[in-house]
Structure 1
């Protein structure tokens, strides 16, 4: 085959691939074609001659001892016979016989063409997989190209088509063909049968974090760190933040003047309410802050449980509508939260002491 080196260079430029990677796959395609055409029991090697720009294909014959029982097989040769060809050969070396696939006609050309197409396609998929695997949990934009009967939304992103299932879509959210959608890459899989599978999500806490990073320069620059986040998609979220420098107020920077930054993120999440809290490495303080807007009296940490004491008036705030606030606080901190009321018992004690004082005053 003439000027195969030029063909390799052309494929590399057209597909955006490295020359050496394409060369390795083309050589592999020649070897696989040889196995199909000449037999799988032999070993083959393909090398590119840069001077002639041709690929040379060889059948490898292993040099073995005179008494080796494998000499009856086709791809083994005794040391004595090997020396008739090349005196420098030793046991374990290989004697290479050059093959010419072109001599086998159309069948060989077809087999080689299919092998080349297959290996180049696998190389492209591997490079795409490598590229997008490094982008998991990062924000991407894409255009909706199809929505199927199961409400899977197919979104075109650069050179591939990703999918966002109904469970990865915020409740009551619907898309139509032509919509531009923001999401994070949730997972990337390379399937031998179906190729690249990229899954997108708008319900992951990482989507919230990616939106905040895009909206808040202090987060993007590393002045503010997102320690953790928790979401009940479309309803409420909590995000724990801390500043890497005393000059930056982590919560204030994230919320923005008059809430402009946090509201922009909330709007992208269909009005999801977002609580920004300051992270603390002290678990009791962190749990107390995570229960905001409730004000707690005390927090006791017992292994992975946080026992929270608070007055009755604060209990409903700590729990939140349908338990959403306490659930998010637990998800954010990693602690099981147990609420204890303290105000009512203290009130009874105070009333009893007051009654005793009155009795003593009036001599009863």
Structure 2
């Protein structure tokens, strides 16, 4: 098979997949087609001739003098006597003969087309899966296509479908068909019935953190670090921030002038009240800040010697 590189490049471009994925799909399609034509037990290998831009396809037989194997698996084995036509061989050696798919005319071409379409679709799905798997934990934007009777929200995200279940939705918010929504990509799943889909969430603390990253450049640039966060989705949240830059106020930067930054995040979270605090490596100070606006008279750290655990008594 000649002019392979240009054929594979065209396939990769058409299917929007990598050259490597397109080549693997093409090779697998050729082998599966050959097996359909010659037999399921037949073994084939493809040798890529880069210099001449072609694939050489070979049928491979194993040499044996075992009459039982020759009788039960004629597609896999060849007798020693027959194999000697290929050269000086011994029991257990392998012999190869060229296989030309073109010899099978339209039947071979039809089988190859079907196999190629199947394997290309698998590669498209594999590439998509790997692409979105890398995006787990980041914000995804999609358009609502429907909301079912159980209040599960279905979202169109590029070529894929996403689902925002009721438990992953902020209490009190409502979506309608056509709405554009933001959510955190929680999982990429493959279901036998529905294919590949994305599970989304708007209730995870990580969603709040990612929204802050997008809204606060100092967090995005790594000048301010989010140490931890906790939420009661749609009601209130606490975010602990720290920085090693003495000229940066982490809380002030996150809140923004006149609260513009934190208010933008709060609006996206259905009015969630977000309290930013500055992290301290001193537990007593950190706990006092975390419990604000409650008035804390004192914090005592108690260590359990048996379990080696530390507890805070307020």
Query: TM-score by structure 1 length?
Result: 0.75
Count of aligned pairs: 306
Counterpart position of 1:195:
195
- What is the aligned counterpart of 1:305 among 304, 308, 311? 311
Larger Rg: 1
How does 1:1-364 map onto structure 2 within 5 Å? 3-50=3-50, 55-64=55-64, 66=65, 70-72=69-71, 73-74=73-74, 75-77=76-78, 81-87=82-88, 92-104=92-104, 107-191=107-191, 194-302=194-302, 303=309, 305-308=311-314
Name the SS of the counterpart of 1:123 in structure 2. Answer: helix
Structure 1 or 2: more helix by fraction = 1
Cα deviation code 1:234-262 (max 9, x no counterpart): 11111111113111111111111222211
Q: Pick closer, same or farther for the CA change 1:291–1:55 going to 2, 3 Å.
A: same
SS of 2:46 mapped into structure 1:
strand
Query: Matched residues in 2 for 1:67 and 1:195: separation?
Result: 46
Within 2, Cα distance between the matches of 1:150 and 1:105?
Answer: 54
Post-superposition Cα deviations, 1:56-103, rounded to whole Å, max 9, x if no partner, equal 432211235x5696454422235564343133x566542122334444
CA distance in structure 1 between the partners assigned to 2:87 and 2:194 by the alignment: 48
Greater relative contact order structure (CA < 8 Å, 6+ sep): 2
CA distance 1:111–1:297, shift in 2 (3 Å): same
Tell me how far apart the structure 2 counterparts of residues 266 and 249 of structure 1 sit (CA, whole Å).
Answer: 20
Using the TM superposition, give the Cα deviation of residue 231 of structure 1 relative to its aligned residue in structure 2, in angstroms. Answer: 0.9
TM-score (norm 2): 0.86
Q: 285-294 or 44-53, which moves further after superposition?
A: 44-53
Structure 1 runs not aligned, ≥5 long: 309-364
Q: Is the 8 A contact 1:222 1:244 kept in 2?
A: no
Q: Which residue of 1 aligns with 2:305?
A: none
Change (3 A) 1:149 1:113: farther
Q: 1:133–1:187: 8 Å Cα contact kept in structure 2?
A: yes
> Do the aligned partners of 1:242 and 1:278 also contact (CA within 8 Å) in 2?
yes
Q: Is the 8 A contact 2:160 2:197 kept in 1?
A: no
> Please, which runs of 5 or more residues in structure 2 have no aligned partner?
303-308
Relative to structure 1, the CA distance from residue 133 to residue 273 in structure 2 (aligned partners, 3 Å threshold; closer, same or farther) is: same
